A = this chain, B = another copy of it.
Amino acid sequence: MNTKERILDEALTLFSEKGYANVYVNDIAEAVGIKAPSLYKHYKNKQAIFDAILEVMYARFKETAGSLNIAGDNADVDAGIYKSMEETDLVQLGKNLFLYYLHDDYTKRFRKMLTIEQFRDKALSTVYMDQYFDAPLSYQGMLFGLIVQQGLLKTDNIPVMTLHFYAPIYTLLTVCDRDPSREEECLKLLEEHIRKFDELYGRNT
């Protein structure tokens, strides 16, 4: 990773911990191991660093939405996903989703940064909502549609079923973001949630 990239990396870390306004260019430089004025050889100013982070993250989201099949893109359902869903344990799906969101380093720092900065910039809150509400519900809603079609689960209201599946995951995620020491507790609750969800919606009946 070259200096230009490392600046973004360290800046993202700092922004996610303290918020844009509370991070000084000096902090970023120090984290990178250079002096503050040297930053300006790579970026026009502090705001440009922030903007560059956003661009990288947009690009990254686009990639992962496709490859990990959990974060968005409800446009097309290829046969592979469809087939795997038939045999995939819901618990695994939920846990994977949760752990990806929780541990993927970029995702995690970016989410925290969005959480802090979203109220200052409408565009950021839109990104946040899309990433953590609309896209997951849309994508998972489609999956549950297939699962219900297959008769594996039963419901007359797929959007609500999806909300029932996803909202606890989201909620537990916000807990872990705030207090990583509760991760174990949350994972346990997550697993119980999905098992009960499964039971309630009739896979086992």
Q: Which residues of B contact A115 (CB under 8 A)?
A: 115, 119
- By a CB distance below 8 angstroms, the chain B residues around A107 are none
Number of contacting residues on A, CB 8 A?
41
Chain B residue at smallest Cβ distance from A159? B189
State the number of copies, please.
2
Whose C-beta in chain B lies nearest to the C-beta of A132?
A: B174
**Interface class of chain A by DSSP:** helix
A111-131 contact mask (Cβ, 8 Å, vs B): 1 or 0: 010011011100001101100
Q: Which of B128, B157, B161, B174 contacts A178 (CB 8 A)?
A: B128
Residues of A within 8 A of B (CB): 16-19, 21-22, 112, 115-116, 118-120, 125-126, 128-129, 133, 155, 157, 159-161, 163-164, 166-168, 170-172, 174-175, 178-179, 189, 192-193, 196-197, 200-201
